[in-house]
Amino acid sequence: MPNNLEVSFNSPQCGWMSIGFAGETEEFHTTTAHAPHERALPELLKILTALLDTNSAENEFTLCWNRNPEEFDFRFVRDGENLRLEIYQYPSDERRDAERELVFAHDGTTADVCRAFAETFKQLYEDKDTDEFEFNWRQPFPFAEFEKFTKALTAK
């Protein structure tokens, strides 16, 4: 199964970041906010690192993120070497399942999906000083989580 997932997190501006996902047949682009889910980036890196751990019994993870007032769930479901990424959008922070909409889904291998995320995090890391990441995202770059994720991916 070829990796046809592309992930893009653009340079943050004034506490907002444009993100995008492109698969073989669909695309999804939106903006996200640094708050109230202030740990979205470090939590995403922790999830990706955990997905690479084949000894872990946990196979499903959900990351909450927002655009304000809209909210998103990034759902990762691992099945052996395969991984399904689903992004659900809620119209408000009330997060009612009946109102959520699946806005993007992708199936691939865990390693390929993690490599797609690694590319965009690597770019954020390389541009962090030029883009004044901490000032523009209103929080520091998640160095420790990025390092752990990079090590886990390199070990694959």
Kindly report, residue by residue over 77-98, the tens digit of the pLDDT. 999 999 999 999 999 988 999 9
CATH topology of domain 6-154: Secreted effector protein pipB2 fold (3.30.2450)
Any idea where the domains of the chain sit in the sequence? 6-154
pLDDT at 68: 87
Q: Are strands 101-109 and 82-90 parallel, antiparallel or unpaired?
A: antiparallel
Q: What is the pTM of this model?
A: 0.94
pLDDT at 2: 52
pLDDT band (50, 70, 90) for residue 156:
confident
Average pLDDT, the chain: 94
Could you give the percent of the chain with pLDDT greater than 90?
86
Contacts of residue 72, Cβ cutoff 8 Å, sequence gap at least 6: 30, 32, 64, 65, 66, 87, 88, 89, 90, 103
- Position of tokens 């691939």? 108
pLDDT band (50, 70, 90) for residue 25:
confident
4 vs 143, residue with greater confidence:
143
Query: Is 1 a residue whose pLDDT tops 70?
Result: no
